[in-house]
Amino acid sequence: MSVYQSATDQPAELGSVQLRFLQYRAALRIFFARRARRAANVDDLVQEVYERILRRRCLEPIRDPQAYFFETARNVLRAATASRYPSSIKSRVYPVSNVR
pLDDT digit string, tens, across residues 3-15: 433 334 454 556 7
Alpha helices (runs of H) in 36-61, residue ranges in sequence order:
42-55
Distance CA 94, CA 54 (A): 30
Whole-structure pTM value? 0.68
Q: In the CATH scheme, what is the code of domain 9-81?
A: 1.10.1740
pLDDT digit string, tens, across residues 46-62: 999 999 999 988 778 88
Q: Give the alpha-carbon dihedral of 40, 42, 48, 49, to 10 degrees.
A: 180
Domain locations in the chain as residue ranges: 9-81
Query: What residues contact residue 12 under an 8 Å CB cut-off, 6+ apart?
Result: none
- Tell which residue, 69, 79, 72, 65, has the closest CA to residue 36: 79
